[in-house]
Structure 1
Amino acid sequence: MTDARRLDGKTALVTGASSGLGAHFARVLAQAGAAVGVAARRVERLNDLVAEIEASGGKAFATALDVTDLKQIDSAVTEVEAALGPIDILVNNSGVTAPSAIQRISEEDYDFVMDTNLKGAFFMAQAVGKSMIERKSGGRIINISSTLAHRVIGQLSIYCMSKIALDQMTTAMALEWARHDINVNAICPGYIETEMNADYWQTEAGQAFLQRFPRPRVGEPADLDGALLLLAGDEGRFMNGSVIRVDDGFAVGFK
């Protein structure tokens, strides 16, 4: 790893870190030298992740967090900073979906997705951004969006709406916080195989869906490492308000 992508002496916080991409991002940041706070609702999974990171020589701390509860957001930031030091990097990763045809979407479904993917992400970034501004340290905020912000598919209307709004939130924060030396960017992953969806890609439906991709394949979590470390480290210091698709061409070539 190049020196510019090393994160020694930095503290990162990753939300939605109990599984999938969030857990992977935490491992990658720890391997790059950052002390990593991991936050999610499933604390037992977080404790296992902390033990794994520490067994590999890293430093980590777990905190319970439901991003739809604004009081928990403030508590999580306070706990992580008390345990690991001021947060330099936020990976705003918490996200949910509620697949449904538009005519069957309930208010509860709508609020579930928007409160997590957009409202929770906003106030999570606000809490960390305020801390960075108060101590005049600058920092990096990386919002995890989706290729579906740029290529809508059926049954996922609320999710797609939440992610394109997250992209706009990214650019708005980048504009306002540039004067505080806070870089705010977003990564839009394509379809990535994780423990939650691995079985689907082996089914007939999953294989048929893949045939509509520009290349009939899904990515691996490691395919996002380059973008993550670029935006978290010194190499990305001149990137602010960028929305980076890492989707193997899905947004421009899905049929």
Structure 2
Amino acid sequence: MFQVVGLARRKEKVNELAKKLEGKSGKLYSIETDISKEEDILSAFQWVKDNLGSIHILINNAGIGKNLKFTDTDAETCRKILDTNLWGLSNATREALKNMQENNIDGHIINISSTLGYKVSAPNLNMYPATKFALRGLQETLKVELASMGSKVKITTVSPGIVDTDIWEVGGFISTKESEEHLKQQPKLQAQDVADTVIFALSTPPHVQIAEVIVQPVGEI
């Protein structure tokens, strides 16, 4: 039976999803967590350890941005983006790896990144692309470190293009009418497309590691 724990600031969103899954095999738990706060992450992973035990899969999917020129931004905005997109992800990854090592689990860590980690395709993206470029560096560091330890834990980064989710409003990318109209005109993936890619990476045999996957909607430049 699959047991999944959703860490989110908006815990009610995870609870809504859990209700839709009632009657199906497995269980979805929710823990209110601000991924930018290390104490929240430590508390959440301790709960998992105490109540569920071993971690087999970690999916890092938190992200925020700002529709603002870098030259117009302030230190607090930059720090918030870095804390969520990179530092929070790093903390969660570290805690998951500790759990896997303690329990001798050959697990899998999936990072949901962005095509903006390969190419900056628009202005006013602020610190967001920088965090995604850095994520690729972190992945390479972990791959080398895990290989040197003889670990069989897999690391996969899935980098989608524009996905039709509420990250644009909630995550801070839409702040003007112009940015909203620009987004409406772009080809988009659906969340299910990204989920299917994650399932593909997870379905590979133990000796196969899908290191990086770029997924774009047809027509995206």
How far apart are residue 233 of structure 1 and its match?
3.1
1:192 counterpart = 2:163: yes
- 1:104 is aligned to 2:43: no
The residue number in structure 2 matching 1:164 is 133
Paired residue for 1:63, among 3, 11, 31? Answer: 31
What residue number does 2:217 align with? 248
Contact 2:64 2:167 in 1 (8 A): no
Mark the runs of 5 or more structure 1 residues left unpaired by the alignment.
1-8, 10-33
Query: Is contact 1:183–1:237 with CA below 8 Å preserved after alignment?
Result: no
Change (3 A) 1:83 1:53: farther
| Distance change (3 Å), C-alpha of 1:209 and 1:62 | closer
Mapped contact 2:66–2:126 kept (Cα < 8 A): no
Structure 2: which amino acid aligns with 1:219? Answer: L
In 2, Cα distance between equivalents of 1:233 and 1:82? 28
Change (3 A) 1:237 1:67: farther
In 1, Cα distance between the equivalents of 2:89 and 2:123? 24
Give the 5 Å matches for 1:1-255: 9=1, 34-152=2-120, 153-178=122-147, 179-195=150-166, 197=168, 217-235=187-205, 237-239=207-209, 242-248=211-217, 254=221
Amino acid at match of 1:191: I
Q: Distance in 2 between matches of 1:208 and 1:74?
A: 39
Does the CA contact (< 8 Å) of 1:61 and 1:80 recur in 2?
A: no
RMSD: 2.5
Conserved? CA contact 1:187–1:227, under 8 Å: yes
> Which runs of 5 or more residues in structure 2 are unaligned?
none
Question: Normalization by structure 2: what TM-score?
Answer: 0.85
In structure 2, do the counterparts of structure 1 residues 54 and 85 end up closer, same or farther at CA, with 3 Å as the change threshold? farther
Could you give the per-residue CA deviations for residues 17-72 of structure 1, whole angstroms, max 9, x where no partner exists? xxxxxxxxxxxxxxxxx321111112222222222223434311111211222122
For 1:67 and 1:113, the matched residues in 2 are separated by 11
* Equivalent pairs, count: 212
Q: Percent identity at matched positions?
A: 26
Q: Which amino acid aligns with 1:194?
A: T
- Normalising by the residue count of structure 1, what TM-score does the alignment of the two structures yield? 0.74
